[in-house]
Amino acid sequence: MKIIRGFRKTGGLLIFVAVAWCCFIVEPAAIATMTSPSPADSVMAGYASYYSYECADKPMANGRRFDPEKRTCASWFYKFGTVLEIKSLDTARATEVVVTDRGPNKRFVKGGRIIDLSKRAFEDIDELDKGIIRVVVTVKSVPK
């Protein structure tokens, strides 16, 4: 009888913990929104930052050298060569970029950062002084 009571108490506690755990698991918005490449009409919202001259002339993940004056970006969510429209939610200005690199750093992705823009692309849509901005990313074309 004591064993059954002990099992009821322990079993009930385990079920409670399991249910509570499932209710409180929070995935970052960037990862939860898009876990695999999606069709050309996909839209994603999150934060964008930029990288500039500290990375100039260093190789990107696609093997080419980084030029901060070109409209390019780094993303984990899209194939190389994908053309994206990036729109600032603060200014409503937009620019088009090509995915040429991988990023942002995965610890930032967990916080909702979905894309790193080149200096030129970031300047097109907002002030560099901000450093991080809210954006909407829309796929314009996907390479074959």
The per-residue pLDDT for range 108-131, each reduced to its tens digit, is 999 999 999 999 999 999 999 999
What is the C-alpha separation between 48 and 46, in angstroms, rounded?
7
Domains along the sequence of the chain with CATH: 29-141 (2.40.40.10)
The predicted model scores a pTM of 0.71
At residue 54 the predicted structure's pLDDT band, cuts being 50, 70 and 90, is confident
What is the C-alpha separation between 123 and 119, in angstroms, rounded?
6
Q: Which residue has the tokens 């937009």?
A: 94
Phi-psi region of 124 (alpha: psi -120 to 50; beta: other; left: phi over 0): alpha
Q: Does residue 4 surpass a pLDDT of 60?
A: no
What pLDDT sits at residue 79? 95
Element (H, E) at 20: helix 2-24
At residue 76 the predicted structure's pLDDT band, cuts being 50, 70 and 90, is very high
